[in-house]
Chain A
Amino acid sequence: MAMLEVKDIHVYYGMIHALKGVSFEVNQGEVIALIGANGAGKTTTLHTVTGLLRAKRGSITFEGQDISRIPAHKIVQMGIAHVPEGRRVFSQLSVFDNLKMGAFTRKDKQEIAESLEIVYRRFPRLEERKNQRAGTLSGGEQQMLAMGRALMSRPRLIVMDEPSMGLSPILVNEIFDIIKVVSESGTTVLLVEQNAKKALSIADRAYVLETGSVTMEGRASDLLNDEKVQKAYLGE
């Protein structure tokens, strides 16, 4: 049984039918990429998985439990962390307080301190700036903070929405290296990306979303070599 099973979800914004029966699976330990053009419904899909939006139809199961009716603030507790599109760090709070917010649902002080240690080791830049207000960080640093904050909940599944958006090529590489490390340390990854080439190169499997429906799926390496994918998403 897959860790996350999304079955035929339909999501609306008022009259707009944004997701028209999306289905996909994420297995324990995988890196899954979700690619697609602007407005395809990638963010909508992630929001529905983590409870910020409700599906009108369909089901979402995480580790065997139906989570499609569970509010967002409880889903984190169940082990899914969400790195939102555009970072959404708390700009008035310090880097340290942002990371503490990431551990909001956890109680054990000792364990939280250990997680903080791990995050600082993974993102030394955040430790250097721990007392700085998050709003004053650079775009790349904010992305690292958003990822660090999500890791502070010690998720079993982390979903990331365009973590490389707006970053310089060097930083993009850095972010993808970190995603690999996160995955190797045992966290399952569901990754939404515009940068399809990069995403497919680190993913195990991938799904292509077009105007609210999954139109292609398969092994990432196969999609990378697929002519249609190359034309539409890899600019080749």
Chain B
Amino acid sequence: MMSFISYLISGINLGSVYAIIALGYTMVYGIAKMLNFAHGDVIMVGAFVILTAITKAGLAPWMSVLLAIVICTLMGITIEAIAYRPLRKAASPLAVLITAIGVSYLLQNLALLLFGADAKSFVTIINVPNVSLFGGQLTIKGITIVTIIVSAIIMTVLTLFVKRTKPGRAMQAVSEDKDAAQLMGVNVNTTISLTFAIGSGLAAIAGLLLCSAYPTLTPYTGSMPGIKAFVAAVFGGIGSIPGAMVGGILLGIIEIFGRAYISTQIADAICFAVLIIVLLVKPTGLFGKNVQEKV
């Protein structure tokens, strides 16, 4: 029983990280209507910035994290402006998808060039003591508690931002109808930039949380979590913010349970199998909108 609960908790931990990454995927998809396959690699960049800032430049941990958020945010804006925006009106949506895959390889190869291929061990930044429950039968790691709290805060703030603020409403409008949004006075380019900025800033935080829970870092660290978060976003209903949260957390739990009770080797395959089943039953994902418009 205790091991079940402890697996559940690590599932929620991993799932919370997926959820934060999935938010970036889902917001960019919802608003710019593109799959940013380089999103996962921004996580890796964030983690390398933190590691380098602390170990090479001797910055304080909180400053390194802040620096990583700023760098990833700027990188997100730049990637969108240089690589994706010129293709937004391209005849085929495949053009931008292929470009995104290219950007993903570019980031990985740049990291390879700068930091080498060998795995680095990540520094401990989050020093929160473990919590022991039921007379020591169940231990919850400090990082797990921090991860769950941080992702809960991010999700709440983001939801309020989208629902209650003017730029948030602009995002909703652009996601539904770019032309109609422009007719209201919304600057579509700025709104898409802002979406990339938020998604990429969140990716830096995801990098910190991921590498704090699983402290090895290579240029490919962001790749698999990126793909899983994409699965989580589709699972929850791509374009939907609550969908990304729920999808991420469920996927984390499924993965850890799969590893613990079925097989370590095929845990990833189980994740994808679940996605396929969900999509067969409900093609729009758990929270997907069945857009029905009256004519």
Do A and B interact?
yes
Chain A 120-176 interface residues, beta-carbon cutoff 8 Å to B: 135, 137-139, 142, 149, 153, 166
The answer to whether the Cβ of A212 comes within 8 Å of any Cβ in the partner chain is: no
Q: Which A residues lie within 8 Å of B170 (CB)?
A: 104
Whether B292 pairs with A135 at a CB distance below 8 angstroms is yes
B187 within 8 A of A: yes
B interface residues, Cβ below 8 angstroms from A: 166, 169-170, 172-173, 176-177, 179-188, 289, 291-295
On whether A166 and B173 interact (CB within 8 A), knowing A84-B180, A101-B184, A104-B186, the answer reads: no
Do most interface residues of chain A lie in helix, strand or loop, or is the interface mixed?
A: loop
User: How many Å lie between the Cα of A137 and that of B292 in the bound state?
Assistant: 11
Q: How far is the CA of A149 from the CA of B179 in the complex (A)?
A: 14
CA distance in complex: A172, B177 (Å): 26
Are B295 and A166 in touch, CB under 8 angstroms? yes
For the complex, what is the distance from the CA of A40 to the CA of B289, rounded to whole Å? 36
Chain B residues with Cβ below 8 Å from A135 are 291-294
- Which residue numbers of A lie inside 8 Å of B, CB to CB? 50-52, 71-74, 76-77, 81-82, 84, 86, 88-93, 97, 100-102, 104-105, 135, 137-139, 142, 149, 153, 166
Contacts of A92 in B (CB 8 A): 172, 176, 289, 291
Add 12 more A-B contacts to A86-B295, A149-B184 (CB < 8 A). Answer: A72-B179, A72-B182, A76-B185, A84-B183, A88-B180, A90-B172, A92-B176, A92-B289, A101-B169, A101-B181, A135-B291, A142-B294
Are A72 and B183 closer than 8 Å at their CB atoms?
Answer: yes
Does A91 lie within 8 Å of B291, measured CB to CB?
Answer: yes
Top 8 closest A-B pairs, CB basis?
A105-B185, A72-B182, A88-B180, A76-B185, A104-B185, A104-B184, A101-B184, A82-B183
> If the complex has contacts A52-B179, A153-B185, are A97 and B169 also in contact, measured as CB distance less than 8 A?
yes
Q: Give chain B residues whose Cβ lies under 8 Å from the Cβ of A52.
A: 179, 182-183
- A73 CB contacts on chain B under 8 angstroms: 182, 184-188
- Smallest Cβ distance from B167 to chain A, in angstroms? 10
- Which of A76, A86, A138 sits near B183, CB closer than 8 Å? A76
Most buried by B among A74, A102, A104: A104
Cβ of B267 to closest chain A Cβ, rounded Å: 36
Give Cα A102 to B188, complex, Å.
Answer: 15
Task: Check if A90 sits within 8 Å of B173, measured CB to CB.
Answer: yes
**Within the assembled complex, what's the spacing in Å between the Cα atoms of A84 and B188?**
17
Q: Which B residues are in CB contact (< 8 Å) with A138?
A: 294
16 inter-chain pairs at a CB distance below 8 angstroms, sorted by A residue, are A50-B183, A72-B179, A72-B183, A76-B185, A89-B180, A90-B172, A90-B176, A92-B176, A92-B289, A93-B172, A101-B186, A102-B184, A104-B166, A104-B170, A104-B185, A105-B184
Chain B residues closer than 8 Å to A76, beta-carbon distance: 183-185
Instruction: For A72, give the chain B residue with the smallest CB separation.
Output: B182
Q: Which residues from B are CB-within-8-Å of A105?
A: 184-185
CA distance A153 to B182 in the complex (A): 13
* Distance of A105 Cα from B185 Cα, bound (Å): 6
Q: Which residues of B contact A97 (CB under 8 A)?
A: 169
Q: Which residue of B lies closest to A90 (CB)?
A: B176
Q: Which of B180, B184, B188, B295 has the most chain A CB atoms inside 10 A of its CB? A: B184
Chain B residues within an 8 Å CB radius of A91 = 176, 291, 293
Residue of A77, A91, A101, A153 with most chain B CB atoms under a 10 A cut-off = A101
Q: Which residues of B contact A101 (CB under 8 A)?
A: 169, 173, 181, 184, 186
Q: Complex formed: what's the CA distance from A201 to B170 in Å?
A: 38
Q: Which of B170, B183, B188 has the most CB of A within 10 A?
A: B183
A84 to B179, CA, bound (A): 9
A residues near B184, Cβ cutoff 8 Å = 73, 76, 101-102, 104-105, 149, 153
Residue of B nearest to A150 (CB): B183
Nearest A residue (CB) for B177? A88
**Residues in chain B near residue A82, CB distance under 8 A:** 183
Residues of A within 8 A of B293 (CB): 91, 135
A133 CB, nearest partner CB in chain B, Å: 11
